[in-house]
Structures are given as C-alpha cells and as structure tokens.
Structure 1
C-alpha cells in the first residue's frame, strides 16, 4: 500500500485518538472500584433518608415533552430578533420584509400547533 505523505499526520492522529480511548477504557477497568459482597445496598437509590417509593421510570405524558420542545422552538426565535432590533434602521425595508417572512413562518407553525391541539392539556 502506497500512501501519499499527506495522509501520514492523519493516520498518526487517528492512532493517538484510538490509543487514548483504549488506554482510558483499560485504565478505568483496572483501576476502578471492584464490586464487593455488600455493595448492592450501597448502590440503591437514597434521598435524604426517605425510602424509595415506586418506580423511577414512571412514564411522563407526551404533552410534557411536546410542550418543552415547542418552548425551545419558539424561544430560539427570540434570539434571532435581537440583531434585527439592534440594527433595524440599517436593514431598511428589505430587512423588515425578511423579518416579516421569518415571523410569518413561525406564526404559521404556531397556528398549526394550536389547531392540532398540542397546547390543549385537557385532551
């Protein structure tokens, strides 16, 4: 196999990266704590002296996650308004139309979410 000289640094970096990962995995396995006879009690959940009640894996309503995703989506929109608000005079009519198109896309998305009932918690 005849590799050009340009690939040698890339191969060295890949070997160092893979070697670091393998060395880290081997080191944690060899130097890490070992499981002892009474450790199953130590590994149980504990919070402020209160006994564990129920399962920690209780399912959440999908509405909770949907609301969180919608909040993030519409919250990020505000970040894009700041540069426009600071420089709105410099952007002129062209900037205003661009922001109007941007807002209209989010407004249509909001109307779609509202009509689909994603914001209605009673369903």
Structure 2
C-alpha cells in the first residue's frame, strides 16, 4: 500500500510539473494585456479600483451570517432545550455577537460615507 501511494504521489507530481511547464507563455505582449476599445487607445483606466469599504461590509456580513447559522443547532435540538446549560451557552454566544457588533460600530466600519 505504501509503494502504491508513493507511485501515485510521483505520477501526480510529474503531471503537475509538466502541465505547469507547458502552459506558461514565453512572452508578454503589451497590446494583449491592455484593454481593448475598438482599436483605439483607452480613454480611461479599465481596471477600476475595488471599494475597500464595500469589502469590509461584506466580510462583516459573512462573519455575522455564519455566526447566526451556528445558532440553528441550539434552536432545533429538542433534548437540549430549556436546560440551564442551553441558556448559558446561548447567552454567551449572543453576548459575543453583540460585543462584536458594538466594536465594529464603534470603530466606524459600518459607515458607508465618511
């Protein structure tokens, strides 16, 4: 089994190395890497910078969305419902969410305009 694993590992590495060497372009053309506007020189920069503020809001949304999704097992587990441990764990989790939200609000990460 060990010999078979080593053989597979070597075959995969050889194939990845060959694919990497064969797929690389040997030269970079300035015309091919520039934006195309019907044969004319571009008027403005085609690569508009991404809004960092939007990215931060999206990351905060994803973090809180995942944390809310982690609450579902607490709600749908009937054997664990209404116990003292359930109240303590759900309270701790919700307080952690509220403290994180307060921290983001206090730092100004939730403001769209400055």
Superposition TM-score, scaled by structure 2 size = 0.69
- 1:16 matched to which residue of 2? 8
SS in 2 for 1:67: helix
Alpha-carbon shift at residue 59 of structure 1 (Å): 1.9
Q: Does structure 1 retain, via aligned residues, the 8 Å contact 2:56–2:109? A: yes
Q: Does structure 1 retain, via aligned residues, the 8 Å contact 2:53–2:112? A: yes
Give yes or no for the alignment of 1:107 onto 2:98: yes
Select between 77-86 and 100-109 the one with higher mean Cα deviation: 77-86
Q: Does structure 2 retain, via aligned residues, the 8 Å contact 1:88–1:96? A: no
Identify unmatched segments of 5+ residues in structure 1: 1-7
Give yes or no for the alignment of 1:96 onto 2:87: yes
In the comparison of the two structures, how many residue pairs are matched? 109
- 1:85 matched to which residue of 2? 75
- 2:110 matched to which residue of 1? 119
Q: 1:60-119 CA deviation, whole Å, 9 max, x = no partner? A: 222111111101100001211111111256332211211110110110000000011100
Q: CA RMSD in A?
A: 3.4
